[in-house]
Amino acid sequence: YCSTTQQKCIAIFALVCCFAVLVALIFSSVDIWGDDEDGITEENCSKDCHIVLVENIPDDLSFSMDGRPHLPVSVGFHTLLDQAKHSIEVVSSAWDLNSWDLETIPNPAKQGQLLFQRLLRLKSRGVKLKIASSLTNSTELKALAAHNAEVHFVNMTLFTRGGLHSSFWIVDRKHIYIGSADMDWRSLSKRKELGVVVYNCSCLALDLHRVFSFYWQLHERDYIPSIWSKRVTALYGKNNALQLQLNSTPATAYVSTSPELFCSKDRTRDVDAIYQVIQSAKTFIFISVTDYLPLVKRSFRGTSVTRYWSSIDEVIREAVVLRGVKVRLLISFWKKTHPLTFNFVTSLKSLCVQLYNCSLEVRFFSHKEQNDDIQLGLNHNKYMVTDNAVYIGNHDWVGSDFAINAGVGLVVKMNCSAEDRGVTILEHVKATFERDWRSRYAQSRHGVKDHCKLNAQKPADKK
């Protein structure tokens, strides 16, 4: 009898120990309670939202002024700062707003300096600034931390051997920014950027905040936890998009992320979001990216292996050939354009040879006066617009970017037909693309051919 009781006691004790170890593992791998969400839930969040397109067009570029000008990116950022009452959460691939060493007059970094000074003054307003970054030795982040900003480091090199390319803001869990511009003075003066600011949209802000929380909880970790708080689980995705009013028009929206390792439960991958937008297009697909290269580089047993990456390339081909959708692809031509880009473009264009009802056009956006500065006039846009949806992301359409670099995307789809909905964010983005497409900076491959030869004769960039 004593022996049986003793065995039961040992068994119970062992179970208690196992349970204690399990609880300890859970708490050590993740903040089980997650970040405070300020009482905002799916039930009480706002779905009546206002969206604004923001752009930076460098002074060196001149476009025809047909259509209304869009809000400058710098004004969009300052508007968000004006709105902030409690908190600002920022993720950026770069922190280089100041650049005090520039001697040109007027100083092209002036807008960046003004923005940085306002970020420093958030403490005096009682606004909490949180920053997630992969930069370990940033002078500006150290200065912001000294002014009460809280900075968390994400070791992307350890996780994926990539970088944190995400670029977004969340203000008071109500207003957001997503786009190509980051915390770099060039984004506010020298580079051509595009993004959106969405106001009074706490449902969407809450979901983007969960992406931020994912990064935030990776601080000082050397592994991706296998168990996550529900506070980083996606609220919306491609199969359950947020139903909202966007500038008084019915629409759906959701946030996507990459790489796959960084997709928490129910989160849609960037490539799947792009795939869905392309597949849902009925008449046209307009794409504007800095680089287009369907290749992915991976390290295998210490050797770098390059493979064809079909995820986006194939669905474009299907849309053109099988569904007769008109595709226009605007790619930046600059010193870092990969030579194989032209091979893939030629392959795409060959699809329509002797095919009826087939339209695929490619142009290269080139600012000929770039000279020694590879950023001057660079078209840094990363978006796609179709007849019924828009995708705005942080990645160029390069396989390796989606595979190893962290980024986010925003998908907005209109519920009404073009005839019924009036002028929406889709029409604004489409007009922007068509303006760029018709500009003197957009050339066929033959138009940039001579520049290719010149670049091949120049010594390699030392940077």
Across the chain, what does the average pLDDT equal? 87
Phi and psi at residue 347, to the nearest 5°: -60, -40
Greater confidence (256 vs 231) lies with 256
| Residue 27: predicted pLDDT | 44
| Residue 30: predicted pLDDT | 43
Q: What is the pTM of this model?
A: 0.88
| Residue 369: predicted pLDDT | 57
Q: How many CA atoms lie within 13 A of 262 on its CB side?
A: 31
| pLDDT at residue 59 tops 70 | yes
Mean pLDDT of 96-124: 84
Q: How confident is the model at residue 432 (pLDDT cuts 50, 70, 90)?
A: very high
Asked if 87 contacts 166 with a C-beta cutoff of 8 angstroms, the reply is: no
Q: What domains are defined for the chain?
A: 46-457 (3.30.870.10)
Listed in sequence order, the residues at least 6 apart from 249 whose beta carbon sits closer than 8 Å to its beta carbon are 414, 415, 416, 421, 422, 424
CA separation, residue 47 to residues 87, 178, 371 (Å): 20, 18, 47
| Residue 362: predicted pLDDT | 97
| Distance linking the first and last C-alpha atoms of the chain | 79
| Residue 173: predicted pLDDT | 95
User: Comparing 54-63, 269-278, 335-344, which segment has the lowest mean pLDDT?
Assistant: 54-63
| pLDDT at residue 127 tops 80 | yes
